């Protein structure tokens, strides 16, 4: 049946109206928060954060509050390596279980000898052994699909990045970019053995390889546009609310100021275009539990073309002022070239993406191979009904 817009429209309308009325109050609140942020002392905030029994994620404040940092000049020669991935999921109905993971890598060199390399590499995982994570005794397995496939993908992206960096790192300032986050959020909730293998063995292994290249001016960073994150606000909230709230939900008193407001709302208001915020440190459970101190993750916010992006860096990069500043200016340059988004990430995405035609061609290839071997492909009734949409 076609979409019944009427019913939906009504509800949407109400919601939109309520937003409007909230609007003016919203701006007042944001201004207040910014005010507070500017005046507050990061050490005090840190103290309160450590003492508090809040259950929400609150970022660690590092340097002075509310600093505004303009980008420095970029070097004449620099390089960007970006990696992105895309996958075709397991078809439950097919007799062959397989997953194709397509990793797109781009290497752009700018300056006196400009060049560009675009690459994509497909990885296939076929059969039980490849498509599952097994525990040590092989009694338990977690299939590589859905969320877990996303994690596996993040791991492989980082691996490709590390491979490429090892080949190319030659002292030329090299920005290594990843779309999204350096924090493997999705691993939370997985089995221990999964976390062991994917995160600790594989993911951190790659981070380690990249860390070793840091003297070759390699700057690893992740780029998240228009982030939903609020770990900075959450830290401010601890100070703002005198009730020492421990609840996730903001209370009606102190917390009401920050209710519904995200980090990006704050920073967009006071960061000028191309400037970055102060540096923060992520206190995510994933990091604290599994990354270890060696692999802490820092972040800052950046105003790109009047939109906020969140840049995450490993601590060894963030602590090096040169590299930190390079990360800022090179990302700005990338965004200029990409008309608002880093061009290297855009192109790596294009290299990685498996479009509909390719997906269908893949399915057809499988079908043909199965048919050649005389294997009957029994698709489920549900699948057939979806495919054919008959009347």
Residue 52, CA distances (Å) to 62, 114, 233, 246, 377 in order? 18, 52, 15, 8, 59
Closest separation between CB of residue 108 and other proteins, Å? 5
What lies within 8 Å, CB to CB, of 31 at 6+ separation is 269
Tell me which residue has tokens 């620099």.
78
Residues making up the chain, counted from first to last: 391
d(CA 113, CA 115) in angstroms, rounded, equals 6
Q: What is the DSSP string of 34-59?
A: HHHHHHS-HHHHHHHHHH----S--P
Closest separation between CB of residue 328 and other proteins, Å? 19
The residue among 30 and 175 lying less far from other proteins, judged by its C-beta, is 175
Closest separation between CB of residue 161 and other proteins, Å? 17
Q: What is the DSSP string of 5-17?
A: HHHHHHHHHHHHH
Q: Which of 115, 253, 256, 361 binds other proteins (CB under 8 A)?
A: 115
Q: Which of 114, 136, 189, 272 binds other proteins (CB under 8 A)?
A: 114
**Any contact of residue 118 with other proteins (CB under 8 A)?**
yes
Q: What are the helix (H) ranges across the chain?
A: 5-39, 42-51, 127-131, 147-168, 192-194, 204-212, 231-240, 263-270, 285-286, 315-318, 321-337, 343-352, 356-372, 381-388
d(CA 356, CA 180) in angstroms, rounded, equals 23
Applying CB under 8 A, the span of 169-177, 196-204, 313-321, 344-352 interacting with other proteins comes to 344-352
Closest separation between CB of residue 275 and other proteins, Å? 22
Q: Which of 34, 337, 366, 379 binds other proteins (CB under 8 A)?
A: 337
**Any contact of residue 168 with other proteins (CB under 8 A)?**
no
Q: Which of 147, 242, 355, 380 binds other proteins (CB under 8 A)?
A: 355
Write the interaction track for other proteins spanning residues 40-79; mark x where CB under 8 A is met and - where it is not: ----------------------------------------
Q: Which of 166, 205, 350, 367 binds other proteins (CB under 8 A)?
A: 350
Closest separation between CB of residue 347 and other proteins, Å? 6
Applying CB under 8 A, the span of 91-99, 151-159, 190-198, 347-355 interacting with other proteins comes to 347-355
Q: Which of 59, 66, 99, 106 binds other proteins (CB under 8 A)?
A: 106
Q: Which of 37, 61, 108, 267 binds other proteins (CB under 8 A)?
A: 108
* Residues forming a β-bridge with 276: 69, 302
Which one, of 171, 133, 239, 238, lies nearest residue 247 by Cα? 238
**Any contact of residue 347 with other proteins (CB under 8 A)?**
yes
Applying CB under 8 A, the span of 69-77, 111-119, 158-166, 237-245 interacting with other proteins comes to 111-119
Task: Count CA atoms within 13 Å of residue 182 on its CB side.
Answer: 30
Q: Which of 177, 286, 323, 343 binds other proteins (CB under 8 A)?
A: 343
Closest separation between CB of residue 391 and other proteins, Å? 31
Closest separation between CB of residue 344 and other proteins, Å? 8
Backbone phi, psi, residue 78, to 5°: -155, 170
Q: Which of 61, 110, 125, 300 binds other proteins (CB under 8 A)?
A: 110
| 3-class secondary-structure state, position 298 | strand
**Any contact of residue 341 with other proteins (CB under 8 A)?**
no
**Any contact of residue 202 with other proteins (CB under 8 A)?**
no
The residue among 66 and 74 lying less far from other proteins, judged by its C-beta, is 74
d(CA 328, CA 331) in angstroms, rounded, equals 5
| 3-class secondary-structure state, position 355 | coil
Residue ranges that bind other proteins, judged by CB under 8 A:
106, 108-110, 114-118, 337, 339, 343-344, 347, 350, 355
């Amino acid at each position: 049946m076609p979409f019944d817009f009427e019913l939906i429209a009504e509800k949407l309308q109400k919601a939109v109206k309520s937003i409007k009325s909230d609007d003016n109050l919203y701006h007042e609140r944001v201004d207040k928060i910014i005010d507070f942020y500017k005046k507050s002392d990061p050490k005090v905030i840190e103290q309160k954060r450590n003492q508090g029994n809040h259950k929400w994620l609150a970022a660690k404040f590092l340097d002075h509050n509310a600093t505004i940092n303009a980008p420095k000049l970029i070097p004449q020669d620099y390089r960007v390596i970006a990696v992105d991935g895309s996958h075709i999921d397991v078809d439950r109905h097919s007799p062959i279980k397989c997953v194709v993971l397509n990793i797109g890598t781009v290497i752009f060199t700018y300056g006196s000898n400009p060049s560009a390399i675009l690459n994509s590499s497909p990885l296939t995982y076929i059969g039980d052994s490849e498509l599952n994570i097994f525990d040590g005794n092989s009694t338990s397995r977690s299939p590589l699909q859905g969320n877990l496939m996303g994690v596996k993908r993040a791991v492989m992206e980082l691996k490709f990045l590390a491979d490429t960096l090892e080949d190319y790192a030659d002292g030329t300032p090299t920005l290594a970019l990843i779309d999204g986050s350096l924090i493997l959020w999705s691993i939370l909730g997985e089995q221990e053995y999964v976390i062991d293998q994917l995160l600790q063995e594989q993911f951190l292994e790659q981070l380690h390889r990249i860390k070793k290249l840091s003297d070759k001016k390699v700057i690893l960073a992740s780029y998240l546009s228009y982030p939903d994150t609020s770990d900075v606000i959450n830290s401010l909230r601890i100070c703002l609310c005198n009730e020492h709230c421990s609840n996730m939900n903001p209370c009606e008193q102190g917390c009401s100021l920050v209710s519904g407001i995200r980090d990006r709302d704050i920073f967009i208001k006071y960061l000028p275009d191309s400037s970055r915020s102060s540096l923060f440190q992520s206190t995510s459970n994933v990091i604290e539990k599994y990354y270890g101190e060696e692999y802490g993750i820092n972040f800052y916010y950046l105003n790109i073309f009047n939109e906020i992006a969140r840049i995450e860096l490993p601590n060894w990069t963030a602590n090096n002022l040169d590299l930190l500043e390079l990360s800022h200016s090179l990302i700005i340059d990338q965004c200029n070239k990409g008309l608002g988004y880093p061009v290297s990430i855009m192109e790596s995405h294009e290299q990685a993406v498996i479009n509909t035609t390719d997906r269908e061609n893949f399915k057809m290839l499988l079908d043909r191979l199965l048919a050649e071997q005389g294997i009957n492909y029994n698709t489920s009734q549900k699948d057939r009904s979806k495919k054919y949409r008959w009347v």
